[in-house]
């Protein structure tokens, strides 16, 4: 009788272990890190250069984990442009998550404006501005990521050139740039190699790379490689010259940024000075600026000043921004 009792305990323990192991394998097959990594890479590959060649891939890309919400989002015009922006930013966000962040930000700013008893029109403007905060964050993240890739591009091209001089073919150089390069540029070159490895023509894979990373220097690289494949020549030497050209361009751009730093600082001071002075006056004497909001003439003055400030900001941005 004692043996049956111990045998029952052993089988119960084994059943619990197998149940936990089965639950873990089921979770890992659906939510595991390896599966998420593969899905992320496939989603990134789905954003391509040719609309005709990649239309089916774009339609298969998930915009939400919920199938009804995914079908609803597909009906929104230009939704894939926003999805492409999310991918270019490098953030692991889907369209549904981005929209939920926008709604939460809008409701939070609206609640703060309601607690301060601001007018309805001001509350509406605050809610609109709050909804745009995630979008501006995504755009800023994309610009920072592209800037990092642009700075890493000469080293990546040098790595490919050395691989070609060592006897590797161009797809092998792409693979080496994706495996031994630095992030985030290594990810983009690894995706280009994956596309070639999956059967996509090399021209389409390189054009997809240029579409995912909209940089002028990278377009120079892609166009030069495609022309060399048609006309022939020493590709390693060509890559060395492109790398030198990109380095010289980045050096010149750095010098221009240093020379225009004073203009940018002046622009920031002139733009923030009216708001800072208004805030200080409002703290010192809250009733002093009341006629600007209550009197019709004050409203016209505020509107005129706002339009003139926007024109001034646009003019200063055009003066400071120098394309290299």
Question: Do residues 199 and 293 share a domain?
Answer: no
Say which residue the tokens 């691989």 belong to: 163
Examine the fold and report which residue of 250, 278, 309 is the final residue of a domain before the chain moves on.
Answer: 250
Question: Do residues 214 and 288 share a domain?
Answer: no
Examine the fold and report which residue of 198, 223, 250 is the final residue of a domain before the chain moves on.
Answer: 250
Residue 82 falls within a domain, yes or no?
no
The pLDDT > 90 percentage for the chain reads 4
Which of 110-114, 131-135, 298-302, 314-318 is the most confident on average?
131-135
Residue 33 falls within a domain, yes or no?
no
Question: Do residues 234 and 275 share a domain?
Answer: no
What is the number of alpha carbons within 13 Å of residue 278 lying toward its C-beta? 11
Phi and psi, residue 213, nearest 5° = -120, 85
- Model confidence pLDDT, tens digit, residues 235-247: 888 888 988 888 8
- Residue 304's pLDDT band, with cuts at 50, 70 and 90, is confident
Question: Do residues 220 and 159 share a domain?
Answer: yes
pLDDT of 324 reads 57
Question: Do residues 293 and 224 share a domain?
Answer: no
- In contact, 300 and 247? CB cutoff 8 Å: no
pLDDT of 52 reads 42
- The yes-or-no verdict on residue 94 having pLDDT over 60 is yes
Question: Do residues 228 and 157 share a domain?
Answer: yes
Per DSSP, 275 falls in state H
Question: Do residues 244 and 270 share a domain?
Answer: no
pLDDT of 305 reads 85
CB atoms inside a 10 Å sphere around CB 271? 13
Question: Do residues 221 and 271 share a domain?
Answer: no
User: How many separate domains does the chain show?
Assistant: 2
pLDDT of 53 reads 40
| Mean per-residue pLDDT of the chain | 78
Both structure tokens of 34: 């390896």
Residue 199 falls within a domain, yes or no?
yes
Per DSSP, 65 falls in state S
- Model confidence pLDDT, tens digit, residues 17-64: 667 777 766 766 666 565 566 655 555 544 444 444 443 333 345 666
Which of 38-47, 68-77, 106-115, 235-244 is the most confident on average?
235-244
Lowest mean pLDDT among 26-30, 79-83, 116-120, 166-170: 26-30
Lowest mean pLDDT among 56-60, 177-181, 280-284: 56-60
- The yes-or-no verdict on residue 184 having pLDDT over 60 is yes
Per DSSP, 288 falls in state T
Euclidean distance between CA atoms 97 and 203, whole angstroms: 33
Is the whole model's pTM more than 0.75, yes or no? no
Residue 279 falls within a domain, yes or no?
yes
Question: Do residues 293 and 209 share a domain?
Answer: no
Both structure tokens of 273: 């000075």
pLDDT of 5 reads 60
Question: Do residues 272 and 316 share a domain?
Answer: yes
Residue 227 falls within a domain, yes or no?
yes
By 3-state DSSP, what share of the chain in percent is helix, strand and coil, each rounded to 5? Answer: 85, 0, 15
pLDDT of 38 reads 60
Examine the fold and report which residue of 216, 231, 250 is the final residue of a domain before the chain moves on.
Answer: 250
- The yes-or-no verdict on residue 276 having pLDDT over 60 is yes
Q: Which residue has the higher pLDDT, 52 or 130?
A: 130
> H-helix or E-strand containing 63?
none
Lowest mean pLDDT among 225-229, 237-241, 253-257: 253-257
Residue 281 falls within a domain, yes or no?
yes
Lowest mean pLDDT among 66-75, 142-151, 159-168: 66-75
Euclidean distance between CA atoms 190 and 207, whole angstroms: 14
For 152, the domain range is 146-250
Per DSSP, 285 falls in state -
Question: Do residues 238 and 172 share a domain?
Answer: yes
pLDDT of 271 reads 81
Residue 136 falls within a domain, yes or no?
no
Residue 95 falls within a domain, yes or no?
no
Task: Check which CATH number belongs to the domain holding 162 and give it.
Answer: 1.20.81
pLDDT of 30 reads 61
């Amino acid at each position: 009788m004692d043996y049956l009792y111990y045998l029952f305990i052993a089988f119960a323990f084994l059943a619990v272990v197998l149940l936990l192991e089965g639950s873990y394998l089921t979770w890992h097959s659906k939510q595991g890190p390896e599966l998420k990594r593969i899905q992320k890479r496939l989603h990134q590959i789905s954003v391509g250069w040719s609309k005709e060649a990649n239309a089916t891939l774009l339609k298969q890309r998930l915009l939400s984990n919920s199938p009804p919400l995914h079908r609803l989002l597909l009906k929104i015009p230009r939704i894939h442009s926003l999805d492409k922006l999310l991918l270019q930013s490098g953030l692991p966000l889907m369209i549904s998550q981005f929209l939920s962040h926008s709604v939460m930000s809008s409701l939070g700013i609206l609640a703060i404006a309601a607690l301060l008893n601001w007018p309805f029109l001001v509350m509406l403007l605050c809610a609109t501005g709050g909804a745009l905060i995630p979008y501006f964050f995504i755009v800023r993240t994309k610009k920072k990521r592209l800037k990092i890739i642009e700075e890493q591009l000469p080293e990546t091209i040098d790595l490919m050139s050395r691989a070609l001089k060592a006897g590797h073919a161009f797809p092998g150089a792409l693979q080496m740039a994706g495996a031994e390069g630095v992030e985030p540029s290594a990810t983009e070159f690894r995706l280009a190699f994956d596309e070639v490895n999956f059967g996509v023509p090399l021209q389409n894979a390189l054009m997809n790379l240029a579409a995912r990373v909209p940089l002028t220097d990278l377009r120079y690289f892609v166009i030069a490689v495609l022309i060399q494949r048609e006309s022939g020549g020493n590709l390693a030497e060509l890559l060395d010259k492109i790398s030198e050209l990109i380095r010289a361009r980045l050096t010149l751009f750095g010098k221009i940024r240093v020379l225009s730093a004073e203009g940018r600082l002046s622009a920031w001071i002139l733009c923030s000075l009216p708001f800072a002075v208004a805030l200080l006056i409002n703290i010192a004497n809250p009733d002093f600026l009341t006629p600007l909001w209550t009197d019709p003439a004050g409203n016209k003055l505020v509107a005129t000043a706002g339009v003139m400030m926007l024109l001034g900001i646009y003019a200063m941005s055009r003066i400071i921004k120098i394309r290299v």
